[in-house]
Amino acid sequence: MNEFQSLFNRSQAVTPGGVHSPVRAFKGLEQAPIFFKSGEGAYLNDQNDKKYLDLCSSFGPLILGHRDPDVQRSIEEIVDKAWSFGAPEAYSLELAEWITNEIPWLDKIRFVNSGTEAVMTALRLAKGFTGKNKILKFDGCYHGHVDSMLVASGSGLAGTATASSAGISAAVASETLVAKLDDEKAVEEIFKREGSDIAAVIIEPLPANYGLLPQRNEFLQFLRKITKDNDALLIFDEVISGFRVAMGGMAEVSDVVPDLVTYGKIIGGGFPVGAFAGRDEVMDFLAPNGPVYQAGTLSGNPICMVAGLNTLKKIKNNNIIENTNKACEDFAAKLNDGFEKHGIPMQCIQMASLFFMTGKTTDPIRTIDQLPKDHGEHFKALYPKFLSRGLYVAPAAFEVGFFSAAIDSELSEKACQNILDACSEYFNEKR
Ligand SMILES: Cc1ncc(COP(=O)(O)O)c(C=O)c1O
C-alpha cells in the first residue's frame, strides 16, 4: 500500500471520509488523495518530497503563491505580539480602512472567518433590511454551505427549489428561489410572481464553481435594475473574484455596484478570513447598531488581519492583478493554440487569473447545461496524467484553475507543454 493510501486509511478512521472538506477526497478518481507537507512559491511538496506546480492555489487564496516572503515576515512579527483578544484592536481597523479606501462604494465592512459565514450573514442582513423573506440564486453558483444556498431547481413551479443536501428542511428550501444563469426572462417571471417577498438576488458575478461561466455584462446590469425596481438588494458573492479579477472585483470590472458584497479567500492571504461589506444604510442594520444579529469569537483575528492586509498591499504595490491576469491569458492562449495545432478537441476558457479546460464548443458557455456532457469522463482520465507530469489541479471535474503570481513565464510554458502532452496522449489512446 502506498504512503498516501495508508495516511488516507488512518484519516478515514478519525474523520468522515478522511477529509475536512469533501472535494479533497479525490472522490471519483482512482487513487487516494495526495497528502502535502509544504508549499513554496509556485510549488507544493507532497509527503514524499515530490514537487507539483500548483494550479489550484488552495482554491484561490494564494494569488501570491505559497508563503510569500513579505507576508511571511509580517506574520512572524505579529505572532510575537498578538494572537486573539476578543476585544477591539487596530489590526482589523487597518484592513477595514485599507479596503474601504480602495473600493469607493464600500462604506463599511465586517470581518468573519470564512466565505460561508460572510454569505450567511449577508443574506440575513438583506432579509432584515428589506423585511422580506426570499432569496433568488442561480443554478451553478456556489455560495458556501449555508443551508438556504444548498438547493437546486425544484421540479414544480419555475424558480422553486429543493434541498440538495440532507438536513435542510423543505421550509428552508422554500425560502430560496433558483433561476438559470443568463436568463433574463426567468428572473422576470420569478419577480412577477414573488417580487414582493424577494429580499435579495445573490450571484457570483463571475461564476467559478461549476466550470467558469463568464456572464454577459448586460445580465449583471439587468439584475441591478430589477432588484432596484423591486426594492430587493443585489448581493455579489466575490469570494473568488474579489481582489483577483480586479482590486474591486467584478463590481469594478462590470461597473455594476451591488448593495452588498461578500469576500473570502484572498482577503486573508491564506488564513481564515471572510467579510461582507456595503453602504452605511445597509451595514448599520447590523448589531450592535441595528437589529440584525451577528458575532464571532475569532472575527478580526490579528494574525489573519495582518496576513490579509500585507497580501493586499503587496498585490497593489506590485501590480499583481494585472500581471497575473496577463500571464493567465497568455497561458490560455498558448493552450488553445496547442489544442488546435494537435487536433485536441478541447478549449481553455479564461477570465482574469482563472481558467477552465473542457471540451471544445462552438458557442460560449454561460450556463451549466451548456457544459460538454463528457467533461467528467475526460477529466477523470486526464487527472492522473497531470499528476504524473507534476501538475496539481483541483481534484474535481468542475473546479476552475487558479493562476498565481509565482508562476513565471518559464513555468507557465512548461505547464502548457505538459498539459498538451497529457491531452495528446489521452486522445491518442481513445482513437
Ligand atoms: C463564491 C463562493 N462563495 C462562498 C464560498 C464559501 O467560502 P468558504 O469555503 O470560505 O466557506 C466559496 C468557496 O469556495 C465560493 O467560491
Closest CA to 235 of 135, 162, 130, 105: 135
What's the gap in Å between 143 CA and the centre of ligand 1? 6
* Residue bearing the CA closest to ligand 1, atom 5: 144
Ligand 1 binding pocket (C-beta < 6 A) is 59, 114-116, 119, 142-144, 204, 209, 237, 239-240, 264, 274
Distance 138 CA to ligand 1 centre (A): 15
Mean pLDDT along residues 22-37: 96
Report the pLDDT averaged over residues 261-286.
98
Asked if 34-67+319-430 and 69-317 have one fold, the answer is no
What's the CA gap between 23 and 421, in Å, rounded?
26
- C-alpha torsion angle, residues 180, 182, 185, 189 (rounded to 10): 40
Q: How far, in Å, is the centroid of ligand 1 from the Cα of 59? A: 9
Produce one character per residue of 136-172: b if its CB has 16 or more CB atoms within 10 Å, e if not: bbbbbbbbbebbbbbbebbeeeebbbbbeeeebeeeb
Tell me the per-residue pLDDT of 164-174, one tens digit each, with 9 for 90 and over.
999 999 999 99
* Sequence ranges of the domains in the chain: 34-67+319-430, 69-317
Q: What is the CA radius of gyration of the chain?
A: 22
Q: Whose CA is nearest to atom 8 of ligand 1?
A: 115
The pLDDT of residue 154: 85
Q: Residue 349 carries which DSSP code?
A: E
What is the CA(340)–ligand 1 centre distance, in A?
A: 34
Is 90 exceeded by the pLDDT of residue 79? yes
What pTM was estimated for this model as a whole?
0.98
**pLDDT of amino acid 1:** 63
111 pLDDT band (50/70/90 cuts)? very high
The rounded Å distance from CA 264 to ligand 1 centre is 7
Classify domain 34-67+319-430 by CATH architecture: Alpha-Beta Complex (3.90)
Catalytic positions, please? Answer: 142, 237, 265
- Ligand 1 atom nearest to CA at 272: 10
Model confidence pLDDT, tens digit, residues 119-142: 999 999 999 999 999 999 999 999
Q: Which amino acid is at 250?
A: M
Residue located nearest, by CA, to atom 6 of ligand 1: 144
Best probe residue, ligand 1, of 56, 57, 138, 142 (max atoms within 8 Å of C-beta): 142
List the residue whose alpha carbon is closest to atom 13 of ligand 1: 144
**Mean pLDDT across the stretch 200-216?**
98
Number of other CB atoms surrounding residue 14 within 10 Å: 7
**What single string gives the DSSP state of each residue in 272-323?**
S-EEEEE-HHHHTTBTTTSSB----TTTT-HHHHHHHHHHHHHHHHTTHHHH
- HSE (side-chain half, CA atoms, 13 Å) at 42: 17
Mean per-residue pLDDT for 77-101?
A: 98
Question: What is the pairing mode between strands 260-263 and 346-351?
Answer: unpaired
The sign of the CA dihedral 267, 271, 276, 279 is: negative
What distance in Å separates the CA atoms of residue 123 and residue 107, rounded to the nearest whole number?
18
Shortest-distance atom of ligand 1 to CA 141: 1
CATH 3.30.450.20, domain 69-317, yes or no: no
- Name the one residue in this structure whose C-alpha cell is 429580499: 199
